[in-house]
């Protein structure tokens, strides 16, 4: 049978205690205890009750409590046959209480079965059970028919309202669980993205540093092969050592930048070209802080471009132009003049390719190619 509103169980979240406040649970237990006390008091207050009858009434109340507890457990597990069996046992206990003269206990059991069935069972099973329980209550109740009818209607509505309240609470609990799972997944995704970003940043820094070191080490190798003097060779080796030291420092700076501790981009570019003869920086547009990822991309592209100039256009004049626009920032690196580099084996040629991929991850672009006077690198990053 296709599950629908008549055959669907209330969810386990609705049938459980999750989402019920501590105060509400205490009130519910207090009401149950009061009902049991009133039933016992009503049983012992009857004049014809003797010792054995009183013990039987007490045993009946305890048995009803145990059966009710078992019914709550089986309905929570969505077990229909055991639940109906327990309700039948409770109604049979009510019939026995009526036969023994304990009408108050019987009426409470019939009403409780009718209301609880409507609250916790599928409607297709709850409707006949509620009808039987409230019909038995109507048959043995001594009130006038109008009062009895009003009581029956009120109890049926109470059971259905309790069902709606439980289902609303269950839906709220499911939404809360889903929200927590979504937050956990979002936090995990953010952590993975942060790890990837840090790994990419360290990769770019080390790739730039190692590439520059390779330039100097290759120059030292050529000098040794050509029989150059010791001072020139030592100069290249010291320069390679300095590049290694600078690479470590840049790695630390990159990690600090990713944590928000970042020097202004203009100052960084000025320091970058300070040790490069014939290089200058021009900044246009309204200066403003950039997001960490965008700022780091601009810095890495500038470093990679200058490294390529040193390798392939030694002695060239370099012009860096940083342009702040309304929705993006543009870095334009142009070199002119210079002489072709002699160190053809100094790099793998993947630096600008990695920078292009990095720019595309941010929704930007990177173009590199020969211009009229030299090589041109243009980076555009949305901010």
> Which helix (DSSP H) or strand (DSSP E) does residue 305 occupy?
helix 292-312
Residue 85, pLDDT score:
92
Q: At what angle do helices 123-140 and 145-225 cross, to 10 degrees?
A: 150
User: For residues 83 and 71, is the Cβ–Cβ distance under 8 A?
Assistant: yes
pLDDT per residue over 282-295, tens digit each?
Answer: 899 888 888 877 88
Query: Exposed, middle or buried by CB within 10 Å (0-12, 13-18, 19+), for 71?
Result: buried
Q: Please, are residues 277 and 335 in contact by the beta-carbon 8 Å criterion?
A: no
Q: How far apart are CA 23 and CA 107, in angstroms?
A: 28
Q: Are strands 375-382 and 365-370 parallel, antiparallel or unpaired?
A: antiparallel
What digits encode the pLDDT tens for the residues 313-362?
777 788 899 999 888 999 998 887 655 554 433 333 446 777 788 788 88
SS3 (DSSP) at 315: coil
Note the pLDDT of residue 270.
85
Enumerate residue ranges in the chain where pLDDT < 70. Answer: 1-3, 18-21, 24-25, 28-29, 31-54, 57, 191, 194, 208, 253-262, 275, 337-351, 371-373
pLDDT tens for 84-107 read 999 999 888 888 888 877 777 788
Structure tokens at 135: 């019909």
> What is the residue whose two structure tokens read 């309790």?
162
Cα 370 to Cα 203: distance, rounded to the nearest angstrom? 27
Rg over alpha carbons for the chain, rounded to the nearest Å, is: 41
Q: How many residues does the chain have?
A: 383
């Amino acid at each position: 049978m296709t599950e629908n509103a008549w055959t669907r169980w209330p969810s386990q979240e609705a049938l459980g205690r999750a989402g019920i406040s501590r105060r509400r649970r205490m009130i519910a237990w207090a009401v149950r205890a009061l009902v049991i006390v009133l039933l016992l008091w009503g049983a012992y207050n009857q004049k014809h009750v003797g010792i054995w009858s009183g013990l039987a009434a007490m045993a009946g109340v305890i048995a009803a409590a145990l059966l009710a507890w078992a019914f709550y457990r089986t309905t929570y597990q969505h077990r229909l046959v055991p639940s109906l069996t327990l309700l039948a046992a409770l109604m049979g206990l009510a019939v026995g209480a009526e036969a023994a003269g304990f009408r108050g206990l019987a009426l409470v059991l019939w009403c409780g079965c009718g209301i609880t069935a409507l609250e916790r069972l599928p409607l297709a099973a709850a409707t006949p059970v509620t009808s039987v329980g409230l019909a038995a209550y109507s048959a043995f109740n001594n009130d006038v028919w109008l009062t009895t009818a009003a009581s029956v209607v009120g109890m049926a509505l109470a059971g259905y309202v309790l069902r709606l309240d439980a289902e609303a609470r269950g839906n709220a609990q499911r939404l809360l669980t889903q929200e927590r799972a979504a937050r956990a997944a979002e936090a995990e995704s953010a952590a993975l993205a942060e790890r990837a970003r840090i790994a990419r940043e360290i990769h770019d820094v080390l790739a730039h540093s190692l590439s520059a070191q390779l330039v100097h080490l290759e120059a030292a190798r050529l000098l040794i092969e050509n029989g150059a003097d010791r001072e020139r060779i030592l100069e290249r080796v010291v320069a390679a050592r300095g590049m290694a030291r600078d690479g470590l420092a840049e790695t630390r700076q990159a990690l600090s930048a990713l944590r928000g501790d970042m020097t202004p981009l203009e100052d960084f570019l000025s320091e970058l070209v300070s040790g490069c003869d014939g290089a200058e920086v021009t900044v246009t547009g309204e200066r403003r802080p950039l997001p960490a990822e965008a700022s780091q991309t601009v810095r890495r592209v500038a470093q990679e471009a200058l490294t390529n100039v040193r390798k392939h256009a030694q002695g060239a004049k370099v012009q860096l132009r940083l342009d702040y626009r309304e929705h993006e920032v543009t870095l334009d690196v142009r070199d002119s003049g210079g002489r072709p580099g002699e160190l053809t084996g100094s790099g793998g040629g993947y630096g600008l390719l990695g920078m292009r991929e990095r720019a595309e991850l941010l929704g930007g672009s990177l173009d590199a190619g020969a211009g009229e006077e030299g090589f041109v690198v243009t980076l555009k990053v949305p901010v």
